Amino acid sequence: MDGGVRPVAAVDQAHPTRYWTRLEDGRVRCDVCPRACALHEGQRGFCFVRARQGDEIVLTTYGRSSGFCVDPIEKKPLNHFLPGTSVLSFGTAGCNLGCRFCQNWDISKSREVDTLADAASPEGIAEAAERLGCRSVAFTYNDPVIFLEYAIDVADACRERGIKAVAVTAGYISPEPRRDFYAHMDAANVDLKAFTEDFYHRVCFGHLAPVLETLEYLKHETEVWFEITNLLIPDENDSDEEIDAMTRWVVERLGPDVPMHFTAFHPDFKMMDHPPTPPETLTRARRIALANGVRYAYTGNVSDVRGQSTYCHACGAVLIERDWYALGDWNLTPDGRCAACGARCAGVFEGEPGRWGARRLPVRLSAP
């Protein structure tokens, strides 16, 4: 279905970037993420979308997208950020992690520019979001860290129209670009894939420490609203001990108000040999998180009203009833307090909930 948006011309795909260093051995190092790819002329980085051109690193996917879709904000997942509203979601191609279980591998592992079928300028995306009635735009499907120049320009264009910017990310980014990137974001969902260096190294070809640094940075040095997603894979990262250690760390270093989403894995990409996550695993993780002091813990990718509703941390009343992405009872005051006891619910709330529901609406921004 067409979003009713004016066609936009494709923009230059070799976009200049800031974060790189010329090395003495003649290579040019990309400084966007901890991978620090050092490139010879004509080479691309691990993420595939940043490449050396001349003596600089360029972004090759500026203004190109693998597709646009209007989603419920709960699908990002964000349960405490403008609940019930719609978000214009899009991604590009490539990724800076190499997760063997990737659930979006057709996009993240894409080596073909034809994945990037849709073209849109930042202004075109902001205009589309406004016309479609979206309260926010989300950089998702693949990690916006690797296309941060494009994401920042889109976020700025959206903010000028009062539309918020949401990053769905693994948080694998270096300190300087991290500051720049999050200065333009209003909310984020950060994927904390596990709580061991072994998992990050063996399954994602990355490291845990930079992700934890991003989480601490968001909490202590920004106003960005953020929630955490933890995808639980049977026998890989789902032990009581690991969930206990992770949730203790979250409460100790980030406080009790950061919502956590425990979501179900399904066999995909290079991890077809593991079974899907049983719903009991998600319930068990949620129980451990709550016992450790996480105030808002959710199950995801399953139908579970009890595990997906929001409860008042003070009196236990149901504040927002939720099943998958659909909202039910709403017991929050317009300024985000419990209607029963007045305790504040952490998050970003603006009066009444949105009425988008669980719909998913693909849209095309450029002319066919």
- Which residues are at the interface with ligand SF4 (CB under 6 A)? 30, 32-33, 35-37, 45-47, 50, 96, 146
Indicate the residue among 26 and 342 with the shorter CB distance to ligand SF4.
Answer: 26
List CB contacts of 348: < 8 A, sequence separation 6 or more: 80, 81, 82, 186, 187, 225, 336
List CB contacts of 282: < 8 A, sequence separation 6 or more: 232, 262, 263, 264, 299, 300, 302, 304, 307
DSSP states of 29-67: EE-SSTT--EE-TT-B-TTSSEEEETTEEEETTTTEESE
List CB contacts of 306: < 8 A, sequence separation 6 or more: none
Classify residue 255 as left (phi > 0), alpha (psi -120 to 50) or beta: left
Which two structure tokens, joined as six digits, stand for 362? Answer: 């693909």
Closest approach of Cβ 281 to ligand SF4, in Å? 31
Closest approach of Cβ 6 to ligand SF4, in Å? 32
Cross-strand bridge partners of residue 348: 81
Closest approach of Cβ 127 to ligand SF4, in Å? 29
Indicate the residue among 29 and 284 with the shorter CB distance to ligand SF4.
Answer: 29
Q: What is the CA radius of gyration of the chain?
A: 20
For residue 254, the one-letter residue type is L
Residue with the shortest CB distance to ligand SF4: 45
Do 177 and 148 contact (CB within 8 A), yes or no? yes
DSSP 138: E
Q: What length does the chain have?
A: 368
Degrees, nearest 5: CA angle 59-211-121: 30
CA–CA separation, 134 and 66 (whole Å):
19
Indicate the residue among 58 and 288 with the shorter CB distance to ligand SF4.
Answer: 58
Indicate the residue among 33 and 232 with the shorter CB distance to ligand SF4.
Answer: 33
Closest approach of Cβ 92 to ligand SF4, in Å? 12
Closest approach of Cβ 147 to ligand SF4, in Å? 9
For residue 285, the one-letter residue type is A
Cα torsion 57, 108, 201, 151: sign? positive
Closest approach of Cβ 175 to ligand SF4, in Å? 13
CA–CA separation, 327 and 58 (whole Å):
43
Do 144 and 97 contact (CB within 8 A), yes or no? no
Closest approach of Cβ 47 to ligand SF4, in Å? 3
Indicate the residue among 97 and 320 with the shorter CB distance to ligand SF4.
Answer: 97
Closest approach of Cβ 241 to ligand SF4, in Å? 31
Indicate the residue among 47 and 346 with the shorter CB distance to ligand SF4.
Answer: 47
Indicate the residue among 52 and 313 with the shorter CB distance to ligand SF4.
Answer: 52
Closest approach of Cβ 226 to ligand SF4, in Å? 21
Indicate the residue among 105 and 324 with the shorter CB distance to ligand SF4.
Answer: 105
Closest approach of Cβ 42 to ligand SF4, in Å? 14
Indicate the residue among 33 and 243 with the shorter CB distance to ligand SF4.
Answer: 33
Do 361 and 69 contact (CB within 8 A), yes or no? yes
Do 62 and 35 contact (CB within 8 A), yes or no? no
Indicate the residue among 147 and 356 with the shorter CB distance to ligand SF4.
Answer: 147
